[in-house]
Structure 1
Amino acid sequence: MDTKLSLHLYRTMLLARRVDEEAVALQRQGVLPAYAPMRGQEAAQVGSASVLDTSRDFAFPTYRELGVALALGVDPVEYMGTHVGAWHGGMYDPMTTRFAPINAVVGGAVTHAVGWAMGADLDGTGGVAMTFFGDGASSQGDVHEAMNFAAVYRLPVVFLCQNNGWAISTPTSRQVAGGSVAARAAGYDMPGHRVDGNDVLAVREAVRQAVARAREGGGPSVVEAMTYRLGPHSTSDDPGRYRSAEEERDHAGRDPLTRFAARLRESGTAEADLTAAEEHAAEVVARVRAELSSSGDRPGEELFDFVYREPTAALLEQRRQWREDHADA
């Protein structure tokens, strides 16, 4: 095991866990209007994203890929800025970070990734698209069309399914025929790999092979990371209504963060290094809280900017009325 790499992966996973916990707290306190927690999926996200080459590859996330964002170097305050409900969404630069804007359409990012991959293939850049989606999204027609299109044209795409066991309140067994997303890859004449999504090194290796294959012209692959959503689907969800406490306790014992920390200790990693990782995460979390809490509201008049290249008469009238209504505000 590469000690330096493993410690870096652990630090990123730990940071994702702590920022995620803080985001839930901020939502409960009214700073964020809503949030989709990713606790339990740190290994699947950090392990897969760590393979990408940010000089030429691109990641296409859903609304739950905090770990991917951090692994690609996205500033956590800028990432969380997407969740404050401002008109501009996040503050990070997708072109610099190679992390596309957050996509709340179920399965929507998958088609975007395939389109980007076709452009990369035509340009000959050697770039690879990696798209993230859940087991629930795998039932969307868009995902079928994207996989079929990518396979027909042998595009450089890695389809990364995080199978966290639940499509909101519907278990995988009731919405994925056959129970395996990876097995579907055979129908598109592409490799499909199922991997322990709670083992960051196993995820990294499976994705490394898929990325290398895509980069060498071998076409797309499906990697299904079997993990578990330890928290709710979103901050408006109550998982206690559809899954048992016993099930949650069982999966908590397979927590990817605690598992990897134990593995690092067994391999000789100093306790001081793990403590330093906690201290670093605490510093970042404090900055996230301070900067998000003090960010303030965007000027209301911006609601009318950047809607159309040339504003319509109706939009101009709405802006005029808004100015009148807020003249004394």
Structure 2
Amino acid sequence: MTSTILEKVSAHAAEAALLRRLYRTMAAVRRLDREAVALRGRGVLPRYSSVLGREAVQAGAVSALDAARDEAFPADDELGIAIAWGRDPADALASRRSRTGAGGLGGPVAHAVGWALGAKLDRTGGCALVGLGPGAGSSAEVREAIRTARAAALPVVFLSTSGRGESAVMPVLLVDGADAAAVHAATADALAQVRAGIGPLLIDAVLPGREAWPARDPLLLCERRLRETGTVGDAFFAQVADTSDALAEQVRGRLAAA
């Protein structure tokens, strides 16, 4: 059946709205990341690891979650997931203050799998999203958690950009890690499959090398696509920049004073 003009207009409006949402989140993460790197240099956040270049992966994946029933489990090194999921930026960064990890508390992968087991038993339809990068937990802990998720067909979407090898043990969706809208679409697809009961699934987001920038800078790529929708102009991007600067200043003040 041929799409009507109203359907096409609605789809265009939805795409533009998603891109605006993604751009706002990514711009905030990029600005907060720059601030956190500066605070690391001053000794305030000695354990902070930059998320530069991974903003599209983290914001795009979280944007596909259903806030009413799903849950995201960011590691300490996944500022973008924490911010996209609505965590307080200063609180998300506070764990990077100490020079050694807390230890003994279990990583986010184990927590995500435990939560997913509860969601399945309670039949909430909820899914867990968790990354497999640095800070996910010890190798043994991550392997055991993935084994449990597979054996019990738990509703977990794993997210990776590190090529750690888990792709061999569960279904995989490959996606361009520089394209936030593509990551969103891949995550939405993964969530639909996981909700249908296939068990855990891995999204493997392929990141461009820095030599590919600025053409493949995730933030600039999102900006270009958003401008192409014709729904925003320079004023939108200036407002986002001002808001991100104000947020970074607030976070800097809180962390430096603590």
Q: Same fold (TM over 0.5)?
A: yes
Q: Secondary structure at the match of 2:145?
A: helix
Tell me how large the CA RMSD over aligned residues is: 2.8
> CA offset at residue 287 of structure 1?
0.6
The question of whether the paired residues in 1 share the 8 Å contact of 2:56 and 2:219 is answered with yes
1:77 offset after TM fit, Å? Answer: 1.9
Structure 1 match to 2:88: 75
Counterpart of 2:129, as a letter, is: M
1:111 Cα deviation from its structure 2 partner = 2.5
Aligned residue runs from structure 1 range 3-152, under 5 A: 3-85=16-98, 108-134=107-133, 140-152=139-151
Where structure 2 has 5 or more consecutive residues not aligned to the other structure, the ranges are: 1-11
Cα deviation, 1:6-27, whole Å, max 9, x if unaligned, reads 1111010010000000001011
Change (3 A) 1:152 1:34: closer
What is the TM-score normalised by the length of structure 2? 0.84
The yes-or-no answer on 1:265 pairing with 2:227 is yes
C-alpha contact (below 8 Å) 1:63/1:104 kept by paired residues: no
When residues 127 and 262 of structure 1 are mapped into structure 2, their CA distance, relative to the original with a 3 A threshold, is same
Contact 1:198 1:227 in 2 (8 A): yes
The alpha carbon displacement at 1:75 in A equals 1.6
The alignment status of 1:293 with 2:251, answered yes or no, reads no
- Aligned residue type for 1:258: L
* C-alpha deviation, 1:140, in angstroms: 3.0
For residue 222 of structure 1, what is the amino acid of its counterpart? L
5 Å matches for 1:200-219?
Answer: 200-219=180-199
- Return the offset for 1:130: 1.1
Post-superposition Cα deviations, 1:271-326, rounded to whole Å, max 9, x if no partner, equal 2111111111011011111121122xxxxxxxxxxxxxxxxxxxxxxxxxxxxxxx
Alignment partners' CA distance in 1, 2:130 and 2:136: 12
Could you list the runs of 5+ residues in structure 1 that have no partner in the other structure? 87-101, 164-171, 229-246, 296-329
C-alpha distance 104-9 of structure 1, shift in aligned 2 (>3 A): farther
> 2:51–2:79: 8 Å Cα contact kept in structure 1?
yes
Q: For the residues of structure 2 that align with 1:208 and 1:103, how far apart are their CA atoms?
A: 33
Displacement of 1:250: 3.1
Q: How far has the Cα of 1:137 moved from its partner?
A: 7.0
Matched, 1:280 2:238: no
Counterpart residue number, 1:156: 155
**Residue type at the aligned position of 1:294:** A
TM-score between the two structures when normalised by the length of structure 1 = 0.67
Instruction: Please list, as runs of the form range in 1=range in 2, the aligned pairs for 1:186-225 lying within 5 A after superposition.
Output: 188=169, 190-225=170-205
| Aligned partner letter, 2:95 | T
Shift of residue 253, structure 1, vs aligned partner: 3.8
CA contact (8 A) 1:61 1:131 kept: yes
Classify the secondary structure of the residue corresponding to 2:44: coil
Pair 1:78–1:139, CA change in 2 (3 A): closer
Larger Rg, first or second structure (1 or 2): 1
Report the Cα distance in structure 2 between the residues aligned to 1:42 and 1:227, rounded to whole angstroms. Answer: 11
Distance in structure 1 (CA, Å) of the matches to 2:20 and 2:196: 29
- Shift of residue 158, structure 1, vs aligned partner: 0.5
Rounded Cα–Cα distance in structure 2 between residues aligned with 1:140 and 1:291: 34
